[in-house]
Amino acid sequence: MRAVALLSRQACLPLLGAGYNALMMQDDVPEWQPAELDPYVPLGEEELFQDDVASGDPFESEPVVEEQRGGKGGAGGVLPAIPAEEAAERISRLREKAKELPTGPGVYLMKDAKDVVIYVGKSRNLRDRVGSYFVPSTDLGFSGKQALLDYVVDFDVLPCESEVEALLRENRLIKDIQPRFNARLLDDKTYPYLEITTREDYPGVYVTRQPRSSGTRLYGPFGSVAALKESVQHLQRVFKFRTCHLEILEEDPRKKFFRPCLLYAIRQCTAPCAGKISREAYRSDIERLKRFLDSKGNGGAEVLREMTAEMEVAAKLLEFEKAAALRDQIKAMRALGERSRIAADKGIQSEVFFQDHRAGLKSLQDLLELPEPIRSIEGIDIAHFQGEATVGSLVCFIDGRPFKNGYRRYRIRSITGVDDYRSIQEVVSRRYRDAGTNHELYPDVILIDGGLGQLHAAQESFAAMAVKPPMVISLAKREEEIHIQARHAPVKLSRTNAGLKLLQHIRDEAHRFGQSYHHLLISKKRFEEDVSTGKRPPRSNKKKANLAVPSSERKVAEQETKVLSAEEMKKLMKNWENPPT
């Protein structure tokens, strides 16, 4: 028998990651412990959701220029603005603000006096976590966190529906913003997933940080890639799936001449590459693996107890090889855990939190009463800090998925001060001037981040165009009300409505895209201010001398490549035309 059917998710809850055991709600399973296995000690919850602050003061070393940002330690050398407010008064104000936060999971963004994000964190309980920063009696434990509090003037939060969403959103924001005080997740890596292909004759099982867009079943994210890889090795001993990337076809006659790899010899793969197993039998093993990862209830615990009893009997009969194999199977079924199911046979993008695109588009079509299915949606957002470095962002979604080639960002130049309405009008007029003259097609839906005022501002710009867009709507943040053109009353959908979730995803993506550009402009402006006031040297465009060339030869080369002035050029030409006799 190649694998054991009817295994349970409950059997695989104790391991994996850095203690992410809040992602699942465990049922009560009778405790059992075979004598041959070492007792398992679950990892603590705090290991994954611990604060991600660099130890020590990040500003002790000499700052680097803004263009060198993105390395270890956060956003380069752009120093946070020093608060003008007294520390005690500032901490007290932030503590009172934190009391109004929701108690659910989410992401919080700490900002300095110039509204620049200097730290991004996640939490299961936003109110408790954010509030803990501003309690004087709390032992923060990290000097880096204490240095963070010296600069925090305000904070924003992004509530999430699950801790998985908070985990991924924190990861995405840290990579985009590169906050000064974040120590982890600054590179291009993301959390690992377990990926099972579904469109191949012989599906493969892989550990990946970049899931495919379609044709796979994903499990994750996991907190530790090392623990995930170890768990896959244990599962491979039970279900004997392939982890290679060979293209294996059922009708390929060359398979019988192919020599399988070492995994077949050690009984960790059934070698479909060499025709050692039929397509039906192999896919049956894969289906058992999926059921093991997907199953609910206590069936898995019962299977584990049966396997434990069988192992003990084999040991008493001195069948040590069989007992050892059963021991490894038990270990494998207890190993892969503390994960959340992301999607089943649905194309997803890594770190995209809304999955049911078709349902969302259909819900929006019904809500907006459009005759044709929605294919394209563009979202617009405005970002600024007290009227400084105002920018507009536009994101494009095709069939409910981000289309990065359609993203646009606009630096607002015609407006000074705080004026979101006129900023929206400038973005609308610049983006859709060709569509307004019938030289380009409008998207099916245009989404404005804001309330009724922002919607009316956009409609004023469209009114001046010869061709009008088919549908313009806006989404207010607090109450999540949808304002629709030509309708007097806003629409408030259920928080679980797929159409609302899609609009929220587009709005949040536009906000993220705009904020990243806004922070870039702020950082550059602050760098230029520091240069003008003498706080840091200007960037040097002088080329470094090649020390391998002697100084005398370098001087000759510099003279040979000297740029002549106009007068010198005239004199040279005169001497050339009339050489001295």
pLDDT in tens, 227-262: 788 778 878 877 889 999 888 998 888 888 888 888
pLDDT in tens, 125-173: 999 999 888 887 665 555 556 678 888 999 999 998 877 778 878 887 8
Asked if 471 and 497 touch (Cβ cutoff 8 Å), the reply is no
Q: Is a pLDDT exceeding 60 seen at residue 500?
A: yes
Among 3.40.50.300, 3.40.50.150, 3.40.50.1360, 3.30.420.340, name the CATH number for the domain at 357-526.
Answer: 3.30.420.340
Longest dimension (CA), the chain: 116
Q: Is a pLDDT exceeding 60 seen at residue 29?
A: no
Among residues 201, 181, 171, 189, which one has the least CA distance to residue 140? 181
**Predicted pLDDT at 517:** 83
pLDDT in tens, 554-566: 555 555 555 666 7
**Predicted pLDDT at 42:** 41
User: Residue 206 to residues 14, 274, 347: CA-CA distances in angstroms?
Assistant: 21, 20, 16
Per-residue pLDDT band for 267 (boundaries 50, 70, 90) equals confident
SS3 for 142-180, per residue?
A: CHHHHHHHCCCCEEEEEECCCHHHHHHHHHHHHHHHCCC
**Predicted pLDDT at 12:** 39
**Predicted pLDDT at 431:** 93
**Predicted pLDDT at 553:** 58
Per-residue pLDDT band for 367 (boundaries 50, 70, 90) equals very high
Mean pLDDT, the chain, integer: 75
Q: Which two tokens stand for residue 57?
A: 């003061």
| Whole-angstrom distance, CA of residue 74 vs CA of residue 490 | 42
Asked if 65 and 539 touch (Cβ cutoff 8 Å), the reply is yes
Which letter does DSSP use for residue 65 in this model? P
Q: Is a pLDDT exceeding 80 seen at residue 46?
A: no
Quote the percentage of the chain above a pLDDT of 90.
22
Q: Is a pLDDT exceeding 50 seen at residue 266?
A: yes
pLDDT in tens, 342-351: 333 333 333 4
**Predicted pLDDT at 566:** 72
* pLDDT mean over 107-136: 89
CATH number for the domain whose boundaries are 66-177: 3.40.1440.10
Q: Where are the domains of the chain?
A: 10-44+191-343, 66-177, 357-526
β-partners of residue 204 are 242
pLDDT in tens, 523-534: 787 777 777 777
Q: Tell me the whole-structure pTM to 2 decimals.
A: 0.40
Question: Which strands make up the sheet holding 154-159, listed edge to edge?
Answer: 117-123, 106-111, 154-159
| Whole-angstrom distance, CA of residue 98 vs CA of residue 101 | 5
Per-residue pLDDT band for 574 (boundaries 50, 70, 90) equals confident
Per-residue pLDDT band for 28 (boundaries 50, 70, 90) equals very low
Asked if 419 and 376 touch (Cβ cutoff 8 Å), the reply is no
Q: Is a pLDDT exceeding 50 seen at residue 390?
A: yes
**More confidently predicted of 337 and 327:** 327
